[in-house]
Amino acid sequence: MSTPASPERTLITLRDPGSAAAEAYRTLRTNIQFSSIDRPLKTLLITSTAPDEGKSISLANLAVTMAQAEQRVLMVDCDLRRPSLHSIFGLSNEQGLTSAILEGEGALPIQATAVPGLSLLASGPLPPRPADLLGSRRMVALIERLRASADIVLFDTPPVVAVTDAAVLAPQVDGVLLVLQAGHTRRDRAREARQILEKVKAHIIGVVLNNARLEGGYSY
């Protein structure tokens, strides 16, 4: 069995905190903070238009910078098809979100990461119908519990164009961040993703552009 990579090796904000990419994540953190002055933001959903656009890595790096700013940050892996946050942080996926939903009022299987102030609710066992689970009343109740457990809760979801999971969950959170990849994301897909989110009245707070040839690598 291979040993999972440590977050220090996989996350630029830990591996090279002085780099332009790490600074871009700190800028993203600041922009999010200012975007929520008039509308308090405690729950933020991160999604993309298609697989392999870097949404989970973007969420993980953003979470690290928020924790480094002395916030209590909780990541929740709602990608119940291809979960990855537990692998990024070298944690277990035996219990997690699905366990918490099905077991109701029991203790939440939240795990601490190696980053002070940063914790993870992994996906847990993968269900046969993820969208049904994420759209259930039990999920709504769980989100309220999670709000009380951290300063900000970041939800990782599957690509919004590919499946309905993100669209089902988006109206239940305070804001949505859409991750695109320069040279990879098609413009029609980006438009479709925005239309899907707007149709469910999601509050889109911004767009992250990965791999852009700009200083910092991200744009809004």
Residue 115: pLDDT band (50, 70, 90) is very high
Q: What's the pLDDT score for residue 213?
A: 64
Q: Please state, for a pLDDT cut of 70, what percent of the chain lies above it.
A: 92
User: What pLDDT does 217 receive?
Assistant: 42
Q: Which CA distances in Å does 114 have to 15, 58, 78, 122, 168? A: 13, 18, 21, 15, 31
pLDDT of residue 9: 72
In a domain, 14, yes or no: no
pLDDT at 5: 56
Domain assignment of residue 25, yes or no: yes
In a domain, 27, yes or no: yes
Q: Report which residue type is found at 59.
A: L
Residue 107 lies in a domain: yes
206, β-bridge pairs? 177
The whole-number pLDDT of residue 74 equals: 98
**Chain centroid offset of residue 53 CA:** 13
pTM of the model: 0.91
Pairing, β 111-112 against β 43-48: unpaired
Dihedral of alpha carbons 27, 31, 37, 43, sign: negative
Position 85 confidence tier, pLDDT thresholds 50, 70, 90: very high
Q: What is the CATH number of the domain that holds 92?
A: 3.40.50.300
Cβ–Cβ under 8 Å, residues 198 and 67: no
Range of the domain at 66: 19-210
pLDDT digits (tens, 9 = 90+) for 167-202: 999 999 999 999 998 877 888 888 999 999 999 999
Q: According to the model, what pLDDT value does residue 7 have?
A: 75
Instruction: Evaluate if residue 23 carries a pLDDT over 80.
Output: yes
Q: Is 94 within a domain?
A: yes
Give the residue with greater pLDDT, 103 vs 157.
157
Note whether residue 135 is domain-resident: yes
pLDDT at 215 over 70: no
Structure tokens belonging to residue 154:
């970041």
- For residue 36, pLDDT over 70 is answered with no
Block residue for tokens 């009343």: 137
What are residue 164's phi and psi, to 5 degrees? -85, -5
Is pLDDT above 70 for 208? Answer: yes
Q: How high is the pLDDT of residue 195?
A: 94
CB 85 within 8 A of CB 59: yes
Predicted confidence (pLDDT) at residue 70 exceeds the cutoff of 90 = yes
Q: State how far the alpha carbon of 101 is from the alpha carbons of 74, 80, 142, 188, in Å.
A: 17, 13, 7, 35
CA distances (Å), 178 to each of 52, 55, 109, 220, in order?
13, 8, 27, 10
Average pLDDT, the chain: 89
Tally of domains in the chain: 1
Strand ranges in the chain using DSSP code E only, listed in sequence order: 43-48, 73-77, 111-112, 118-121, 152-156, 175-181, 204-210
Q: Is residue 159 part of a domain?
A: yes
